Amino acid sequence: MKRIIDLSQEIIDNMPVYPGDEAVKLYQDRSLDKDGYTSFRLEIGMHAGTHIDTPMHLLNRTTFINELPLDRFSGKGCLLDVRNEKIIDFKEEYVDLVKEDDIVLLYTDYGKFYGREEYYRNHPVISEELAEFLIRKKIKMIGIDMPSPDKYPFVIHKRLFENDILIIENLTNLSELLDIDCFEILVFPLNIKAEASMVRAAAII
């Protein structure tokens, strides 16, 4: 029987956000006793929690995330175990592991710092060599258990975007995919006219 693993961070009031972003507000604005029904209100930026960035985020592009075909957001997953690497570099073994159209997940184990200053200040970064390898492989998306694949001036972000590779940030539970040879990834965005979107990311094994 197939199993579904949730790879998404929980959306809650005042959840962790990238430094400088506005706080998330999730609150109940209607109650059953007073209003006859229960309702909650959410005020959130597109880059809070587990989300997908599109090229429009950092490049002069005009395609919103809801204009991309849905098949861009699902496919075969490939997990690379990159724990304890401050600079995540290319390895020869990746040549056979990574295939065209894969959704490549980098397991850094940095998600354990989610919600702490360390998570945003000292996260690992992807090397230009690894980024160029993934570009040559024509992968579909890259997913990470940290807030960003790089830091200012976001060269890696831009190189991936220039080659139409989408970026999934703030994943969790990637440890559950260790030693799993075959799995599918689903990361559907909201049908929203924006440069990015929160997602409910899952792996099917």
Sequence-ordered strand ranges (E) for 109-191: 125-126, 141-144, 166-169, 184-189
pLDDT value at residue 8:
99
Q: What is the CATH number of domain 4-9+46-204?
A: 3.50.30.50
pTM of the entire predicted model: 0.97
pLDDT value at residue 109:
98
What is 159-173 written as a DSSP string? HHHHTT-EEEES---
What is 29-79 written as a DSSP string? EE-HHHHSS-EEEEE--TTSSSEEE-GGGTSS----GGGS-GGGGEEEEEE
Q: For strand 141-144 and strand 74-81, is the pairing parallel, antiparallel, or unpaired?
A: unpaired
Tokens representing 80?
A: 């690379």
Distance, in Å, from the CA atom of 133 to the CA atom of 90, rounded to the nearest integer, reads 7
CB 132 within 8 A of CB 156: no
Contacts of 65 (CB under 8 A, 6+ apart): 52, 54, 56, 189, 192, 194, 195, 196, 197
Tokens representing 2?
A: 């197939």
In tens digits, the chain (205 residues) has pLDDT values of: 899 999 999 999 999 999 999 999 999 999 999 999 999 999 999 999 999 999 999 999 999 999 999 999 999 999 999 999 999 999 999 999 999 999 999 999 999 999 999 999 999 999 999 999 999 999 999 999 999 999 999 999 999 999 999 999 999 999 999 999 999 999 999 999 999 999 999 999 9
pLDDT value at residue 1:
85
pLDDT value at residue 115:
94
Question: Running DSSP on this structure, what letter comes out for residue 155?
Answer: H
